[in-house]
Structure 1
């Protein structure tokens, strides 16, 4: 991001009929040359070849990986760039799973490590959870998961620091991010990202080939239905295993993690981390959905073969209903003395009392020095400073805020969320 871009408000005027730049054309042309076998055998074989390992642990995940692959092939409008990105991602998850299983075999004591009273943030996608996670992670007494570590949780021999490169995993993450930013330059103004960006813990769940992650990258209704109808206890157990491995490699610390998906998995989240402090954020669903629809449509210029506003509109409004209805149904399963509901309209006015409540509940002192650190993070990551995209619901999607909001009265009835988008 250039200095001149700071504070700008961007309008993307070609959402419905994108005009591709040279980088986007080149990426699509290069990806179209690849011949990719989306099968569990091919992906697991590529991971074995990459790692020289062959033990994936429990093989129940293969059924889910098979379905991921089938759903990718069923998505008729997924572009060559979309397919290539998913292939690379699937192989990465399979390879990282091999490395996790290998280190646990070599150090069985890892599975005895206690994940002590983590702070877990959940909330609707695009509701401020990313900023809250980054803010809490600025307190270095808390252990968090930066992107460079999330995409390579177990370092290999080639990741050893050298005089020329003190952190090769960071360097690889930076190269990957620069490549993505070149192809989708406006995405950074919609969702902050960098190698040091604190990642969602969904990256660890994906090593078990589950979660709602795939829904963000392709149109996969069959996977959605499978995921929502199957118990996620095993995948949340794998998340815990990932945290144990990371604690063994660099710890111990109190963890702070987050994922919007947790809102629809509160019972299994509570079962997996019974001593956690749960921070549930709430926002006018229209504000969250407007952002999600716009991100999908903008990315579709390279990830899909058409930019059709009906795709995200038809999928994500209903998907948010499922997410939030499950939260309404299950919110009371969380222990009241371990749970805080954070409302967006209160947070943006004065975050300090909310931070104090979180720290008090987690039994971590919030001293003046820490508060100063958090204030500095808040200032440094203010979207009004770095620039932001102005979303246009009616122009891009032919829908109004009230058209969306009418589907969510059940959520407003349960939580005192203020209307944000008119």
Structure 2
């Protein structure tokens, strides 16, 4: 579980205090200024009754399934009102997302009720990519998705999962463009976001987006500064979340088969035993990068996500497990201990260094395929080579971290981790 405790080493706000938000686009600044004249809770309500009523009316359905989602849903709503400091745009984005998650949950529960045979869909040797946020997981995800034997849930499927997409119409499903317009809005609200993380309706989605339908999700936690929700999430039991995750994969492959699923989320790093309980034949790839650079990059990313929705200053203490040294090192060493104890069998996991992925990506791929006894066909090799040629580092802009890695006092926390995996320190 992500550790949100305070880092008493380098200081609780070392990173956040040195991150400066970019100016809002003029249209957004003027919109939010006008929004301040309104009774925002009345104009854009985020109360439970309003949201549940709208979700039911939109779908014509009433059964949300088990009650695992209700407590985190209620904790989230209270935190959004009391702690998030949402602007007009922030409230609109929050209400839109929550309604989509509620409506999707209603439709998923209804689909399984009408088609219980979906529960029999086999999930065969899925691949999970995990590691610290900003450690190369996204580019590896996109690179491996070029293998036709691997299938990933696309972003549009995680928002609008029902009716489950059919193979014949998958590439032309109009839901793709609808969700593409919605998620690329993030880069219209904060243009700098496009230099950090590519979004799109057809982009492979992180598992946190599948989890969002349970309201127990690191994806939700990353969007807002809501300490009470973060604290609740930090102690949550994720067993039901992984069970829901498996059902989502079964649903999405029911009419559009995938030979093997390719999945990705940094959050899996803290829950490998739980993941393997649900997926005992899972193949896990752990990426490794200089943690200081990962934390610096994650600070910029989280700050930008919050800046889309609020004008309040960014406070890293809410995200200590991602952007503060002592907590991040504790997460990494906990995984090292789990692996040493055999809780994560060596045949189930492969290590991949970010530095190697940059310098010789195809050699990294060959080693990975060899470890998991996967065939690397010429078709796959060619598709990956073409992808690398088309997407050089910095294609979507240069992401300026704005924080020097060299002078960060947290370096000492990572000595054991970097030595164990041979992770080089990066220059600022």
8 Å CA contact retained: 2:56, 2:62: yes
Counterpart for residue 88 of structure 1: 96
Counterpart for residue 378 of structure 1: 388
Counterpart for residue 9 of structure 1: none
Given the alignment of the two structures, is residue 335 of structure 1 paired with residue 345 of structure 2, yes or no?
yes
Gaps of 5+ in 1: 1-13
8 Å CA contact retained: 2:84, 2:226: no
8 Å CA contact retained: 2:72, 2:216: yes
From 99, 106, 118, give the equivalent of 1:110: 118
* Residue 375 to residue 43, structure 1, CA distance change in 2 (3 Å): same
Given the alignment of the two structures, is residue 77 of structure 1 paired with residue 75 of structure 2, yes or no?
no
From 17, 23, 29, give the equivalent of 2:27: 23
Counterpart for residue 364 of structure 1: 374
Counterpart for residue 409 of structure 1: 415
Counterpart for residue 11 of structure 1: none
8 Å CA contact retained: 1:31, 1:84: no
From 65, 69, 72, give the equivalent of 1:64: 72
Shifted more, 96-105 versus 359-368: the winner is 359-368
Tell me how large the CA RMSD over aligned residues is. Answer: 2.8
| Secondary structure at the counterpart of residue 420 of structure 1 | coil
Q: What is the aligned residue count?
A: 401
After TM superposition, the structure 1 = structure 2 runs for residues 115-126 of structure 1, keeping only pairs within 5 Å, are 115-126=123-134
Per-residue Cα deviation, 1:218-270 (whole angstroms, up to 9, x for no partner): 11232233222232111110000000000103114211001000000111011
| Aligned mates of 2:302, 2:82 — CA distance in 1 | 19
Per-residue Cα deviation, 1:274-327 (whole angstroms, up to 9, x for no partner): 101111111111111111112233445442223446667867433534543442
* Residue 99 to residue 125, structure 1, CA distance change in 2 (3 Å): same
* Residue 17 to residue 357, structure 1, CA distance change in 2 (3 Å): closer
Counterpart for residue 144 of structure 1: 152
8 Å CA contact retained: 1:161, 1:168: no
Counterpart for residue 187 of structure 1: 193
| Secondary structure at the counterpart of residue 262 of structure 2 | strand
User: TM-score, normalization: structure 1?
Assistant: 0.86
8 Å CA contact retained: 1:338, 1:361: no
Given the alignment of the two structures, is residue 388 of structure 1 paired with residue 398 of structure 2, yes or no?
yes
After TM superposition, the structure 1 = structure 2 runs for residues 169-208 of structure 1, keeping only pairs within 5 Å, are 169-208=175-214
- Cα drift, residue 31 of structure 1: 5.7
- Cα drift, residue 49 of structure 1: 1.3
After TM superposition, the structure 1 = structure 2 runs for residues 223-372 of structure 1, keeping only pairs within 5 Å, are 223-308=229-314, 316-318=322-324, 320-321=328-329, 323-332=331-340, 333-372=343-382
Gaps of 5+ in 2: 1-17
| Aligned mates of 2:375, 2:319 — CA distance in 1 | 44
| Aligned mates of 1:375, 1:121 — CA distance in 2 | 20
Shifted more, 39-48 versus 96-105: the winner is 39-48
| Secondary structure at the counterpart of residue 97 of structure 1 | helix
| Aligned mates of 1:336, 1:269 — CA distance in 2 | 15
8 Å CA contact retained: 2:164, 2:255: no
- Cα drift, residue 215 of structure 1: 2.3
| Aligned mates of 1:260, 1:402 — CA distance in 2 | 23
